[in-house]
Amino acid sequence: MTLKSSFLWGGATASYQCEGAWNEGGRIESEWDRYLHENNFESGDIASDFYHHYKEDIRMMAEGGQNAFRFSLAWPRIMDEKGNRNQEGIDFYHNVIHECRACGIEPFVTLYHWDLPAYLADNGGWTNRNTCDAFEKYAELCFREFGSEIKWWTTFNEPKWTIVSGYLVGNYPPAEKNAQHAVEAGYHMMLAHAMAVKKFREMNVPGSIGIVHSYAPVDGVDDSVSTQKAMRFADNFMNNWVLDVAAKGVFPEDFLEALTVKDIDLSFMNKADVQLISKQKVDFLGLNYYARALVKPYSSGETTLTVNNSGSKGKGTTVTLIKNWFEQVRDPESKYTEWDTEIYPEGLYRGLIRANERYHLPIFITENGIGMYEDVTKGEVNDQYRISFMQDHINAMMNASDEGVDVCGYFAWSSFDLYSWKNGCEKRYGLVAIDFKDPNLKRVPKKSFYWFKEIAKSNGTKIERRH
């Protein structure tokens, strides 16, 4: 079977990771600027400098046969500390959208890809319910400003990773290890999502709205009852608190119960807000797929959550173990990247089938890609590994589509090389190479760019099909 003719083929980016120009055009400080500057970590101050290169980059997408571009609006560029509009920032996004349209590229917009304004972080960030009100105002401004130009909207990118990393692993701002705060912040993010969807409906914005989730389909090491229980804990922790809420309006009951057992105080969940959440359902799901989660029952030890942000130097240091719930394990049969990410295309196929069974919604693959070290100084990067990775994952997606899953688009992460959170610019995902040491940030398409062009132009028929 072939994919629908309206299928979107593109690349994805995020404002902080690609724009640079962190203190230009009236942009205020974000939580990430402050965190990376204060700790002297590699930052996205310049990144790919998309702010000044957007025309070149968007034209290149069109030359690469792409018909869509996923990007995020930066809240700190659009609104100042008093909640007033920043015209220069708004104009920038009008220009980006205009360029997309001029090149035949469908803009696919994320409202929030992690760049929380720093002044809101100072007041408790997502642990403070006021941040939900501020987000609603920001979303309203975006809908009013860009509503007539955008068909595809998403509220949040990956609530799961930003919350888990920010409040449990402690490797993203606000760099805490505090389970109570993690739950409060995650809940408020889902409430803010629902408030934005409500506003979208009330304003009769043309187009559709969804959410983007970092989807980790859960597999178990065996079929035992204890493994199945561990899988349910893992699924609630990794997926359901975002997807069930966005698609069905409910928090999984057994998850709330398990949190209470862990002494989490849920009294902040007030009735009116829970009711508001229950009424706001998305039109579609955006799923970012990098890897599945293979789990076994919890055996011993304290809760440990660590992420490898050091590449080959930190290989094997990633641990996800939640006391009394589950442990994530490595599959000895699988290949892993230098950053410990399993390469497992079948997980995408199975995950899509499950998501379709549970939610019956149209689905976009909003991110999929592989992070590698690459020498971009010696002409075209011959990234055959990326081509194989994408070939296998697009094949998996098409197999799911053949079985009736309504897949509407595929976005490669990333359109071009950009800044990777805490990993720096040397963890490369792009279809286009950027030499970050070159003052002009020269762009050169990689081999995968040309391969993807043929796939997009053929609407997937050039994928080598395997079951």
Site residues for ligand BGP per CB under 6 A? 14, 17, 157-158, 161, 214, 288, 367, 371, 413, 420-421, 423, 427
CB atoms under 10 Å from CB of 446, counted, come to: 23
Nearer to ligand BGP (CB atom), residue 349 or residue 421: 421
Whether 140 is catalytic is no
In the complex, what is the shortest distance from the CB of residue 84 to ligand BGP, in angstroms, rounded to a whole number? Answer: 28
Q: How far apart are CA 363 and CA 238, in angstroms?
A: 18
Q: Any bridge partners for residue 286, and if so which?
A: 212, 364
Nearer to ligand BGP (CB atom), residue 67 or residue 157: 157
Q: Can you list the positions of beta strands (E) in 148-240?
A: 152-157, 208-214, 218-220
In the complex, what is the shortest distance from the CB of residue 8 to ligand BGP, in angstroms, rounded to a whole number? Answer: 17
Q: Is 82 exposed, middle or buried (0-12, 13-18, 19+ CB in 10 A)?
A: exposed
Could you tell me the CA-to-CA distances from 284 to 106, 153, 207, 408, 420 in Å, in that order? 17, 10, 11, 10, 27
Nearer to ligand BGP (CB atom), residue 159 or residue 220: 159
What is the chain's length?
A: 467
Whether 38 is catalytic is no
In the complex, what is the shortest distance from the CB of residue 462 to ligand BGP, in angstroms, rounded to a whole number? Answer: 26
Long-range pairs for 196-201: beta carbons < 8 A, 24 or more residues apart: 196/111, 196/135, 196/136, 196/139, 196/155, 197/155, 197/280, 197/281, 197/282, 198/276, 198/279, 198/280, 199/136, 199/139, 199/140, 199/143, 200/139, 200/143, 200/153, 201/280
Q: Any bridge partners for residue 218, and if so which?
A: 293
In the complex, what is the shortest distance from the CB of residue 174 to ligand BGP, in angstroms, rounded to a whole number? Answer: 18
In the complex, what is the shortest distance from the CB of residue 383 to ligand BGP, in angstroms, rounded to a whole number? Answer: 16
Residues ≥6 apart with Cβ < 8 Å to 409 = 7, 8, 9, 10, 68, 108, 364, 365, 366
In the complex, what is the shortest distance from the CB of residue 454 to ligand BGP, in angstroms, rounded to a whole number? Answer: 25
Nearer to ligand BGP (CB atom), residue 220 or residue 345: 345
Residues ≥6 apart with Cβ < 8 Å to 294 = 219, 220, 221, 328, 329, 330, 331, 342
Nearer to ligand BGP (CB atom), residue 153 or residue 161: 161
CB 431 within 8 A of CB 363: no
Q: How far apart are CA 183 and CA 163, in angstroms?
A: 8
Identify the active-site residue in 99, 106, 327, 367: 367
CB atoms under 10 Å from CB of 152, counted, come to: 23
Identify the active-site residue in 158, 176, 327, 374: 158
Nearer to ligand BGP (CB atom), residue 67 or residue 318: 318
In the complex, what is the shortest distance from the CB of residue 210 to ligand BGP, in angstroms, rounded to a whole number? Answer: 15
In the complex, what is the shortest distance from the CB of residue 379 to ligand BGP, in angstroms, rounded to a whole number? Answer: 25
Nearer to ligand BGP (CB atom), residue 2 or residue 312: 312
Nearer to ligand BGP (CB atom), residue 127 or residue 423: 423
Q: How far apart are CA 408 and CA 426, in angstroms?
A: 31
| Residue nearest to ligand BGP as judged by C-beta position | 420
For the chain, report the end-to-end CA distance as a whole number of angstroms.
Answer: 13
Catalytic residue positions, numbered: 158, 367
